[in-house]
Amino acid sequence: MQTRSDALSHYPQIGQLIGGAYETGGGRAMHDITDPTTGQVLGQYPTATEDDIARALAAAERGFAVWRKRSAFDRGRVLRKVADTMRERANELARLVTLELGKPWKEAVAEVEQAAGMWEWYAEEGRRAYGRIIPAREAHARQLVMPEPIGVVAAFGSWNAPLITPSRKMAGALGAGCAIIMKASEEVPACALALGRIAYECGLPEGALSILVGDPILISERLIDAPCVRGVTFTGSTQIGKQLAARAVSQMKRPIMELGGHAPVLIFDDVDIAAVAKAAAAAKFRNSGQICIAPTRFFVQRKVYGAFNEALAKAANDLVLGCGFEESTTMGPLVSSRRVKAMQGFVTDARQKGLGIAAGGDAVQREGAFFAPTVITDAHTESMVANVEPFGPIAATAAFDSYDEAIGLANRLPFALAAYVQSNNVHTVNRAIDDVEAGSVICNGWRVSLPETPFGGHKESGIFAEGGVEGLQAFQHVKYAYVA
């Protein structure tokens, strides 16, 4: 584990990665990067210019022409080397995650491993991008179906998983044979840029990957409107995702959207409530609750509702807030002060509506963007927290009496990203898998995303999936060929 002062001394100069060349300064407008742990300036990033974007697009066209012709075996060797290098530099990469996002060190190290696993997965899965032969109607003819890369991909990542989200997009697109231009988040740019530089060290051909930092509107409009771009992948809010998807679809470009959620948790009275509450708190407050799949709306069978609230509140109160580089820290800051204000809005609404506050409820009076892990009880359907994803360290609980009531509460909102079920009754679990509307339904566990599993939502939570074989197929189209 590293010290904060050592990490600060190694924070890199931020630039633009255009076709393999790392460019800093150059008269570009500079903007501050804020340290969420202290509220002080961590560094600065140069804003990508119109010329930067144009050069990245030109480089992507050239890079795609080369990369798509590489065999899947050769592409896989590059991606595997990226995974190996990430693991060799795990401390260096974790240091960036903890500095830029404030994640506790152990969580940052775990993120490095999961991100490396995505590069490793697509190194292998690209070699299994099978086509098929359809039996022909004529003798000696062949009907072939062949997967091909869709082309240049424009990618937009969120700040809350600064290595995982870029890795899922980069590795999936590159594994399929595409070139990719990624807009890094302005809050955590060093993480994505570090991945890009490693990829080029490992043999990626010039132009196959570019990473831009700057004005989201300018970059998104220029990339999506570029003729060479054939796919758009975005992770972020439903509102922004709809705008990007509409722009992409209007030009018949594939939208791959991983959007907002508000994950329900159904807890039945046949489970060990103390154990479930402890595990639920770990899942809910990981990354300070800044996870789109974070369990948030806890619906608990009435018989054990009071016991669950008490246990969840205790687990929340036991968390130690602080700098991610301190070994005792179990929850870090929010990404910025604006997120603290957002949390205060949820608590104010809860108090005005007479809801209970079993734990937390206030900003922490110290430097940085800290908010106490909070448990809001009796969160009826008219409350803000029952309808709007907090994307922070706030859990909301409510009681239910019957299975049908629980399913109705889980499916009430238009979001369907992740959901959780806790029950020792196999019949209840199997029914819930069928009845709960979500892209992922996790029963008696809390882990949603793995390199080998699809990750995406239904309804207003997204279109298509990344991760797993589906994440390769998202960046491919199929060609039918007939040979007589």
d(CA 71, CA 372): 51
Which of these is catalytic: 292, 389, 460, 466? 292
d(CA 462, CA 467): 14
Q: How far is CA 67 from the centre of its chain?
A: 26
d(CA 371, CA 394): 9
Identify whether 124 is a catalytic site residue. no
Which of these is catalytic: 100, 107, 111, 258? 258
CA angle 378-386-352, nearest 5°? 65
Long-range contacts of 4-8 (CB under 8 A, 24+ apart): 4/37, 4/323, 4/325, 7/95, 7/98, 7/99, 7/325, 8/42, 8/99
Q: Which letter does DSSP use for residue 79 in this model?
A: H
Q: Ramachandran region of residue 354, left (φ > 0), alpha (ψ -120 to 50) or beta?
A: left
Would you call 336 exposed, middle or buried from its count of C-beta atoms within 10 A (0-12, 13-18, 19+)? middle
d(CA 192, CA 203): 17
d(CA 94, CA 325): 10
- The answer to whether 36 and 332 are in contact (CB under 8 A) is yes
d(CA 246, CA 255): 8
Closest by CA position to 46, among listed 236, 180, 190 = 190
Identify whether 292 is a catalytic site residue. yes
Q: To 10 degrees, the CA torsion angle through 381, 382, 388, 389? A: -40
d(CA 235, CA 465): 11
Q: Which residues are catalytic?
A: 258, 292
